[in-house]
A and B are shown apart, each in its own frame.
Chain A
Amino acid sequence: MLLLQQQGQPRRLLEDQEAYCARYGLDQAQCDAVRRRDVLGLLEAGGNIYYLAKLAGIFHLGVQDIGAQQTGMTLDDFKAKLADAGK
């Protein structure tokens, strides 16, 4: 089971991100990307989106939020894009 989903872990991450990242041996690029909530940066640093989505969830970012962020769109534009593609 993913460590982040275990009880108390999200709270620990939110309380002190730097210490949390250091504790699990994240390198500088990864820590920076976490700090900046930069999903593309996290992917670049070796992240897997299925797990990053859970990390984003802890920061109260939904899948559509991170989709909008990665494509450089506003959330509403991104939603409209999804709706249009399904029409």
Chain B
Amino acid sequence: MPHDSHVPAIGNAIARDAQREPYWEPFFQGFEAVHSWLARVRPDTVVMFYNDHGLNFFLDSMPTFAIGAAPSIATPMKVGVCPWRTHSRRIRTCHGISSRNLSVQASDMTTCQKMLVDHAFVVPMELLWPGAARRVRTVPIAINTVQHPLPSASRCYARSAKRLEGRSTHFRATRALLVVGTGGLSHQLDGQRAGFINKEFDLMCMDKLVDDPEALTGYTNRELVERAGAQGIEILMWIAPAVRCRGPQAKCTATTTFRSRTRLRDCCCWKVRQPRVALRSWQKPPSVRQRRRARIARRRRPMINARRRPKQLGEERL
């Protein structure tokens, strides 16, 4: 696999262990609070909204939403040597079989049985779990912010966040599900306006993401580009997972990330979705009686199935 010549500076800093350098220290320190929070909630599955920067998708066929559905995904990046574990087997078995499950069809997703992920995916993973990111199962969801027409903010919000809401029970095996949005707030790489940054807008977005994410869905993409720059449209990835990102923890996280981003714009907004079923079993192990009941239920299941089994051709004659 060739090495991507455009590894962003955070990835480079991680790769050469520069976290304690004076330039980088304030940035990486911002994540210490996040690490202790993650140690407390212990998510073991992460849904990552990110955008592909021309590694996996080319302009000739650009999916609006794409989900990694292979058992593992690879990255040619320096940090986080491939392959990454994905939650894809679960997605693959669920999708198209039951409407209860993470409905890939309902979200108009392109399913990718082969997928490469770039810095947009790898860097946040390494920031959240330095050196241990591969222990976490992932559900990569790429949003097109590269080639117009792009999905609107309201569509990202409706399609992604609300779909995830209440679907956390599909991840029964998980202790807690973490949903991450990654990308830059205001920035622009191209044209005479290159280097554009709108700090007021960024601060407003950070507040809104915590308190009232739906307010951000009122912007059209044109308005977002005007206020946040051509690549500031990556805020779509922040809006997608912003479901009821409320409470002191969320706020603390948001501000931490913003402080970090004064040096470099590559940020995350996260929210733990705690599947009710899974969390209960994690917090409190089942009692002896519950386990016995479950065992009996398991034994009974084949009998029920046998009774409901459609009659074979020969049986009908009998």
Contact = CB atoms under 8 A, between A and B. Distances in A.
A49 B233 CA distance: 14
**Interface size class of chain A, counting residues whose CB lies under 8 Å from the partner chain:** 20 to 34
Interface in B146-178: 146-147
B108 interface: no
Interface string A35-54: 00001100100001111111
Main DSSP-derived SS at the B contact region: loop
Contact of B195 (A7, A40, A43, A82): A82
Given A2-B55, A48-B147, A53 B189 contact: yes
B112 interface: no
Contacts of A87: 262
A39 B190 contact: yes
Contact of A53 (B6, B56, B261): B6
A72 to B, nearest CB: 8
A76 B203 CA distance: 26
Most buried by A among B6, B58, B116, B262: B6
Interface string A48-87: 1111111001100001001100110000001001100111
B191 A2 contact: no
Interface residues of B, number: 29
A76 B54 CA distance: 28
B197 interface: yes
Contacts of A6: 2
A1 B194 contact: no
A49 B232 CA distance: 13
Contact of A50 (B146, B191, B192, B263): B146
Given A39-B190, A57-B5, A86-B263, A1 B195 contact: no
A63 B197 CA distance: 15
A12 B2 CA distance: 14
A58 B190 contact: no
Contacts of A52: 190
B197 A70 contact: no
Interface string A1-26: 11001110010000000000000000
Given A43-B191, A49-B190, A86-B199, A1 B56 contact: yes
Contacts of B53: 50, 53
B318 interface: no
A71 B54 contact: no
Contact of B6 (A39, A57, A67, A81): A57
B250 to A, nearest CB: 23
A51 B55 CA distance: 9
A1 B263 CA distance: 30
Given A40-B192, A70-B194, A71-B192, 18 more contacts: A2-B54, A2-B55, A5-B4, A48-B54, A48-B147, A49-B231, A51-B54, A52-B190, A53-B189, A54-B6, A66-B189, A66-B194, A67-B194, A70-B191, A71-B193, A82-B195, A85-B196, A85-B199
Interface of A: 1-2, 5-7, 10, 39-40, 43, 48-54, 57-58, 63, 66-67, 70-71, 78, 81-82, 85-87
Interface of B: 2, 4-6, 53-56, 58-59, 76, 116, 146-147, 189-197, 199, 230-231, 261-263
17 contacts: A1-B56, A1-B116, A2-B55, A2-B58, A10-B2, A48-B54, A49-B190, A52-B190, A54-B5, A57-B5, A57-B6, A63-B6, A70-B190, A70-B192, A71-B194, A82-B197, A87-B262
